[in-house]
Chains A and B, each alone.
Chain A
Amino acid sequence: EVQLVESGGGLVRPGGSLRLSCAASGFTFSSYSMSWVRQAPGKGLEWLSYISSSSSSTIYYADSVKGRFTISRDNAKNSLYLQMNSLRDEDTAVYYCARGSSFDPWGQGTLVTVSS
């Protein structure tokens, strides 16, 4: 069964940092691009970042997180990461990882709360 499991969310102060992980199983992780998407409470979906199957080749960020967030992957560990620095109140959201260009499937999400 194809599965994505996010972890690493929690409560963090404004200006703080957090590292999210996404553990993949049930498919050849190294063959797929991956993305991070978030959803603020009661709001819609916002794409954050994309990384190609070969992590050094292509990476994209949404303007809202460029310079603060860093996407990476470890194909040997079947894992995707999102390093989040300089966190703001407006970064409070459920963060999802998703597979491939079609975003199929999605993980269950991990909640990040930025608050003093």
Chain B
Amino acid sequence: QSVLTQPPSASGTPGQRVTISCSGSSSNIGSNTVNWYQQLPGTAPKLLIYDDNQRPSGVPDRFSGSKSGTSASLAISGLQSEDEADYYCAAWDDSLNGRVFGGGTKLTVL
């Protein structure tokens, strides 16, 4: 059971906009920034969004992050086949004194 809650799956068609939610608590998302990671099949995770809504250089602006209270969201617009991957949210948890991850969301591009 992950500390952060994500839907196990999401899907969309090419060109569509999809969102992935991440629900936490006051000790993690509510008081610390959220990062999002993309893990393509058979590869290591890659940072997609940091500090709630910042994109590292090289990440397309089709990817965006937001946060409100104890929940965060990742939005992907103009969905492409290469976006098919697992997506994870993460935040520091002040009660656990450690980083916590969501269980991951498998995105399928139909």
Contact = CB atoms under 8 A, between A and B. Distances in A.
Contacts of B101: 44-47
Given A44-B88, A45-B88, A45-B104, A35 B47 contact: no
Given A44-B104, A108-B44, A102 B98 contact: no
Contact of B47 (A62, A96, A104, A107): A104
For chain B, which range describes its interface: under 10, 10 to 19, 20 to 34, or 35 or more residues?
Answer: 20 to 34
A105 B39 CA distance: 12
B28 to A, nearest CB: 12
B99 A35 contact: yes
A3 B54 CA distance: 22
Nearest to B92: A101
A109 B44 CA distance: 7
Interface in A12-68: 35, 37, 44-47, 50, 60-63
B64 interface: no
21 contacts: A44-B2, A44-B102, A44-B103, A45-B101, A46-B101, A47-B98, A47-B99, A47-B101, A50-B99, A60-B98, A63-B96, A96-B45, A101-B92, A102-B35, A102-B47, A103-B90, A104-B50, A104-B56, A106-B44, A106-B45, A109-B44
Interface of A: 35, 37, 44-47, 50, 60-63, 96, 101-109
